[in-house]
Amino acid sequence: MSLRLTGFCAGYGRVPVVRDINLEIATGRIVGLLGANGAGKTTLMRAVSGLATMQGGRIEFAGNDVTSLSSADLVARGLIQVPQGRHLFGEMSVRENLEMGAYLVAGLDEKARMQEVFSLFPILRERERQAAALLSGGEQQMLAVGRALMSGPRCLLMDEPSLGLAPKAFDLILDVIKRINAAGTTVFIAEQNARKVLRVVHYCYVLENGRIAAEGESSLLLADDRIQRSYLGVAHA
């Protein structure tokens, strides 16, 4: 489902962090949000989900103005976030964490969803009864994605899924994200790992000091000298 931000501003209390954001994620696409540490990616993602203070502007989801909806209402409409750092329930089992994903949303076929999650991430079926805290970092990220899938996302917001992951584990997550997208879910993904993200997204925005500094098709950004220097590590090579 499409997501559109217009003149969007957000921060903490009255302190602004992201300003004047205009962006659009069309239905069915994967769109990236790149930016260095502290650029404001998490603040933007959280404010879109109603979890940080929105200070101005407008949010449209599936063509409707949802600016003033609560985070619970947004989840019920299918705007689901996989937060940076995962925020799993560490003492609870894999299965219980997945059940929590379905808990807030009425009318979902929980059993069928869980089978779908297990088919995307077979390791989670094997670890079904294990406490989430005992999973590896990669498995925890799979569980965080799995829990979001349990909520019936129509648009999935993913904040820094590469955090703490080995390259192979991140590749696997990106692979599943592509499959989820191909099956019809719109995806918005915030990442510092520009090179890999540009390989999977259709379109990308670059956030610098809380503002959109560049945007474009992946191929254009990959060919842009300034983007290369700032985000693809060319200057450090």
Ligand X SMILES: Nc1ncnc2c1ncn2[C@@H]1O[C@H](COP(=O)(O)OP(=O)(O)OP(=O)(O)O)[C@@H](O)[C@H]1O
The contact set with ligand X (CB under 6 A) reads: 12, 17, 35, 37-43, 84, 160, 192
Report what 38 binds from Mg ion, ligand X, none; CB cut-off 5-8 Å by kind. Answer: ligand X
- Smallest gap from residue 43 Cβ to ligand X (A): 3
* b/e 202-233 (16+ beta carbons within 10 angstroms → b): ebbbbbeebebbbbeebeebbebeebbebbbe
- Smallest gap from residue 173 Cβ to ligand X (A): 17
Between 41 and 113, CB nearer to ligand X: 41
Q: Is 146 left (phi over 0), alpha (psi -120 to 50) or beta?
A: alpha
Sheet with 79-82, edge to edge strand ranges: 79-82, 155-159, 186-191, 30-34, 203-208, 211-217
Write out the binding residues for Mg ion, residues 13-52 only, by CB under 5 A: 41-42
- Smallest gap from residue 84 Cβ to Mg ion (A): 5
Phi and psi at 163, nearest 5°, equal -55, 120
Token pair of 42 as six digits: 């998490």
- Smallest gap from residue 225 Cβ to ligand X (A): 23
Write out the binding residues for Mg ion, residues 71-130 only, by CB under 5 A: 84
Q: Cβ atoms within 10 A of the Cβ of 23, count? A: 19
Between 105 and 148, CB nearer to Mg ion: 148
Residue nearest to ligand X (CB): 42
Report what 35 binds from ligand X, Mg ion, none; CB cut-off 5-8 Å by kind. Answer: ligand X
Token pair of 43 as six digits: 């603040």
Residues near Mg ion, by CB under 5 A: 41-42, 84
